[in-house]
C-alpha cells in the first residue's frame, strides 16, 4: 500500500493555489482528475460549456505534470469509466493502491453532501475567496435584510483595494450611477481575443460532438481560452482595450454585439484559471497609473469582491433550503423559446440566440431581458435556475442560484435584493437597440401589437400589489396602477392574460 494520498481536483478547481495542492507532496501524492458523465449531464449543459471544461481540465493536468506532480487522468471515453466521481475515486484507490483521499471542498452543495459520506476523505476549505463561509454567516445572522453594498465595503477594507487609508478613493464607495449609459452602434468596440483549438481541444470537441449531440448550443466555432496562459492573455486584452469604457457601458445592449466592453473572462475565473485578487489588483494598478477611469475600475472590482463573494456567502449560508424557495408562487413552465429562440420578442430572441452561439450573455441581458421576462410572466424560478445553470459557460450553482432565485426572480422574498428587478419595455428600449427591429411596438401600452413587457409589467404589479405596496422601492408603482381607470386596468390584465395563454 502506497503511503501517499489521492488529491482529487474538480473541473472548477483548476488553480495551483488550491488548498489541497498547497499542502500536497509531489513525491508521494497523486493528482486525480476525471471527466464523468454524472457531472456532464446533471443538467443539459451547453455543448461549449462541456467542451471548455474538459479541454481546460486536460490542459491543467498537463500543467501539473510539467510542474512535477504525478497525475492520473480519466477521460470520459475510457471504457472503464464508472460515470461518477465517487466511482472514479474508488477505482483510483484500488488502481494506485492508496487508502486516503483529500479534496478541496466543492462549490456545490450536492457534491459536498455526497463527499461527506465518502470513506477516508479529508475535505479542505476552499480559501480562494475573501470571505469564508463561517465569516459570512457570522456577518449575516440576525440581520433583517442583507445588502451587498454593506458587505462590499467590508471586502474593500479587507483587501485594501481602491482605499485611501480607511476610506474609499474618490470619496465614494460605489460609482454605479455613472455606469448606466446606453451604447451607440457606431462605437468602436474591441472583440475579445479568440484562440484556435489545439490538438488536445480538438479531441475534446470531437468527443462532445459524439457524446452530446442533442445538447443545447452550437459547439463550433470554438475559440475559448483553455490554458492559464491564454486566459491571462484574454484578461490582459480586456484591461488594455475595453476596461476604460467598461464602466460607462456595462449595462448597455446592442444587437449583433454580444460582448461590447465586457471582459468575457468569467468562465476562466469561475473554473480557477484566473485569480480574482490578481485581477482586481491589476485593475487597481491601471487606475492608479491613470489609464482607466475610477468608475470603470470600481465597477469591475465591485463585481468580483462585492457581488461574487456576496452571492457565494448567501448560497452556503442558506443551502440546502434556499434552492426550494418560491415566495412569489410562480409556477408557469419555462417557455420553449428559451431553448429555440422562436419568439417575436426581439430582445428575448437576440439574447437566446447569443446564448446558443456563445454560451455567454452579460449580466443585464440575463437580469433585465430573460430574467425580467420570467419574473413578469410568473415562470417557475427553479426551471429558470436550471436553464441558466445549463446554458452559460460560467454557471456553477453557488454563483448562479442566488443570482437567479434572489436577484432575478425575487423568489427569496427580498433576502438578497431590496426590490424585484421588474421593468417594462421602456427600460429595454433605453438600454438597447433591440426594440427598433421588433414585431411589437415598445411605445404602445395596450393592444395586440404592444410590447408584451408593458402589459406584463402592470400584470406583475397588480397580482403582487399586497406585497409590493410594503416595499419602499415599489410602492409608488402600485399607487400608479391604482390610479389607472378601471377600464385601463382591465385592458392591461386582458392583454397580459392573452399573451400568457400563448406560452403553453
Query: What string of DSSP letters covers 16-64?
Result: TT-HHHHT--TTT-EEEEE--HHHHHSS---HHHHHHHHHHHHHHHHHH
- What is the pLDDT, as a whole number, of residue 186? 67
Do 138 and 164 belong to one domain?
Answer: yes
Encode pLDDT of 13-31 as tens digits: 999 999 999 999 999 999 9
> Is 31 contained in some domain?
yes
Look up the CATH number of the domain holding residue 310.
1.25.40.80
DSSP 187: S
CA 362 to chain centre: 9
Residues 6 or more apart whose Cβ sits within 8 Å of residue 271: 11, 12, 13, 14, 52, 53, 56
Look up the CATH number of the domain holding residue 468.
1.10.579.10
Do 356 and 433 belong to one domain?
Answer: yes
DSSP 128: S
Query: How far apart (Å, rounded) are the C-alpha atoms in residues 297 and 487?
Result: 49
Block residue for cell numbers 457581488: 307
- Domain final residue pick, 291, 318, 345: 318
Look up the CATH number of the domain holding residue 61.
3.40.50.620
- What is the pLDDT, as a whole number, of residue 181? 83
Alpha-helical (H) ranges within 133-183 are: 133-140, 148-159
> Is 228 contained in some domain?
no
- What would the 3-class secondary structure string for 365-428 be? HHHHHHHHHHHHHCECHHHHHHHHHHHCCCCCHHHHHHHHHHHHCCCCCCCCCCCCCCCCHHHH
- Domain final residue pick, 283, 318, 353: 318
- What is the pLDDT, as a whole number, of residue 31? 98
Angle at 460 between CA 457 and CA 464, to 5 degrees: 150
Do 120 and 137 belong to one domain?
Answer: no
> Is 274 contained in some domain?
yes
- What is the pLDDT, as a whole number, of residue 248? 86
Q: Which three cell numbers stand for residue 444?
A: 404602445
Do 139 and 273 belong to one domain?
Answer: yes
Q: Which residues of the chain have pLDDT under 70?
A: 1-2, 186-188
Encode pLDDT of 191-227 as tens digits: 999 999 999 999 999 999 999 999 999 999 999 999 9
Question: Across-strand partners of 163?
Answer: 168
Rg (CA), the chain: 24
> Is 235 contained in some domain?
no
- What is the pLDDT, as a whole number, of residue 2? 62
Do 44 and 78 belong to one domain?
Answer: yes
Do 341 and 481 belong to one domain?
Answer: yes
The domain containing residue 19 runs over which residues?
Answer: 6-124
Do 350 and 495 belong to one domain?
Answer: yes
Query: How far apart (Å, rounded) are the C-alpha atoms in residues 395 and 302?
Result: 19
> Is 236 contained in some domain?
no
CB 318, CB 368: distance < 8 Å: no
- What is the pLDDT, as a whole number, of residue 428? 97
Do 110 and 184 belong to one domain?
Answer: no
Do 143 and 167 belong to one domain?
Answer: yes
pTM of the model: 0.96
Q: Which of 199, 179, 180, 265 is nearest to 55 (CA)?
A: 199
* 3-state SS class at 46: coil
Residues 6 or more apart whose Cβ sits within 8 Å of residue 136: 312, 313, 314, 316, 317
Do 294 and 360 belong to one domain?
Answer: no
Report the 10 Å Cβ neighbour count for 173: 18
Do 466 and 422 belong to one domain?
Answer: yes
DSSP 6: E
Query: How far apart (Å, rounded) are the C-alpha atoms in residues 10 and 103?
Result: 9
Block residue for cell numbers 479542505: 124
Query: How far apart (Å, rounded) are the C-alpha atoms in residues 445 and 465?
Result: 20
> Is 224 contained in some domain?
no
CB 17, CB 275: distance < 8 Å: yes
Query: How far apart (Å, rounded) are the C-alpha atoms in residues 183 and 437?
Result: 16
- What is the pLDDT, as a whole number, of residue 188? 67
Block residue for cell numbers 436577484: 407
Query: How far apart (Å, rounded) are the C-alpha atoms in residues 31 and 20?
Result: 10
> Is 200 contained in some domain?
no
What domain count does the chain have?
3
- What is the pLDDT, as a whole number, of residue 243? 94
Q: In what order do the strands lie in the sheet with 121-124?
A: 70-74, 30-34, 6-8, 101-104, 121-124
Do 407 and 280 belong to one domain?
Answer: no
Q: Which three cell numbers stand for residue 420?
A: 424585484
- Domain final residue pick, 258, 290, 318: 318
> Is 30 contained in some domain?
yes
Helices (H) and strands (E) in the chain, counts: 25, 7
Amino acid at each position: 500500500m502506497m503511503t501517499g494520498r489521492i488529491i482529487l481536483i474538480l473541473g472548477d478547481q483548476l488553480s495551483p493555489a488550491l488548498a489541497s495542492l498547497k499542502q500536497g507532496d509531489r513525491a508521494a501524492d497523486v493528482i486525480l482528475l476525471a471527466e464523468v458523465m454524472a457531472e456532464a449531464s446533471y443538467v443539459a449543459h451547453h455543448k461549449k460549456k462541456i467542451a471548455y471544461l474538459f479541454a481546460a481540465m486536460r490542459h491543467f493536468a498537463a500543467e501539473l505534470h510539467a510542474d512535477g506532480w504525478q497525475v492520473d487522468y480519466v477521460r470520459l471515453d475510457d471504457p472503464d469509466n464508472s460515470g461518477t466521481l465517487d466511482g472514479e475515486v474508488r477505482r483510483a484507490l484500488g488502481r494506485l493502491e492508496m487508502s486516503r483521499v483529500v479534496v478541496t471542498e466543492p462549490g456545490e452543495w450536492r457534491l459536498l453532501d455526497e463527499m461527506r459520506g465518502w470513506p477516508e476523505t479529508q475535505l479542505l476549505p476552499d480559501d480562494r475567496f475573501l470571505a469564508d463561509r463561517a465569516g459570512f454567516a457570522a456577518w449575516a445572522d440576525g440581520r433583517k435584510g442583507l445588502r451587498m453594498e454593506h458587505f462590499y465595503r467590508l471586502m474593500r477594507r479587507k483587501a485594501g483595494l481602491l482605499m485611501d487609508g480607511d476610506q474609499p478613493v474618490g470619496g465614494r464607495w460605489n460609482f454605479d450611477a455613472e455606469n448606466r449609459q446606453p451604447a451607440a452602434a457606431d462605437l468602436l468596440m474591441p472583440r475579445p481575443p479568440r484562440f484556435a483549438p489545439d490538438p488536445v481541444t480538438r479531441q475534446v470537441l470531437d468527443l462532445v460532438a459524439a457524446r452530446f449531440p442533442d445538447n443545447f448550443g452550437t459547439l463550433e466555432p470554438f475559440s475559448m481560452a483553455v490554458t492559464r496562459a491564454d486566459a491571462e492573455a484574454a484578461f490582459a486584452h480586456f484591461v488594455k482595450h475595453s476596461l476604460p469604457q467598461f464602466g460607462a457601458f456595462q449595462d448597455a445592449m446592442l444587437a449583433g454585439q454580444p460582448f461590447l466592453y465586457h471582459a468575457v473572462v468569467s468562465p476562466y475565473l469561475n473554473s480557477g484559471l484566473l485569480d480574482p485578487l490578481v485581477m482586481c489588483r491589476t485593475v487597481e494598478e491601471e487606475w492608479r497609473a491613470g489609464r482607466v477611469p475610477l468608475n470603470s475600475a470600481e465597477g469591475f472590482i465591485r463585481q468580483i469582491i462585492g457581488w461574487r463573494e456576496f452571492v457565494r456567502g448567501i448560497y452556503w449560508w442558506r443551502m440546502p433550503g434556499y434552492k426550494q424557495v418560491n415566495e412569489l408562487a410562480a409556477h408557469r413552465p419555462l417557455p420553449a423559446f428559451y431553448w429555440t429562440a422562436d419568439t417575436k420578442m426581439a430582445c428575448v430572441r437576440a439574447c437566446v440566440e447569443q446564448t446558443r452561439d456563445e454560451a455567454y450573455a452579460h449580466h443585464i441581458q440575463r437580469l433585465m431581458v430573460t430574467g425580467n421576462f420570467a419574473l413578469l410572466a410568473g415562470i417557475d424560478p427553479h426551471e429558470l435556475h436550471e436553464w441558466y445553470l445549463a446554458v452559460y459557460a460560467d454557471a456553477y450553482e453557488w454563483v448562479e442560484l442566488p443570482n437567479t432565485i434572489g436577484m432575478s426572480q425575487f423568489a427569496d422574498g427580498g433576502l438578497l435584493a431590496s426590490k424585484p428587478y421588474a421593468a417594462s419595455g421602456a427600460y429595454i428600449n433605453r438600454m438597447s437597440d433591440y426594440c427598433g427591429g421588433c414585431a411589437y411596438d415598445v411605445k404602445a401600452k395596450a393592444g395586440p401589437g404592444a410590447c408584451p413587457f408593458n402589459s406584463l409589467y402592470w400584470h406583475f404589479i397588480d397580482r403582487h400589489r399586497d406585497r409590493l405596496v410594503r416595499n419602499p422601492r415599489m410602492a409608488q408603482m402600485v399607487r400608479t396602477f391604482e390610479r389607472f381607470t378601471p377600464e385601463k386596468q382591465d385592458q392591461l390584465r386582458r392583454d397580459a392574460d392573452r399573451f400568457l395563454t400563448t406560452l403553453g
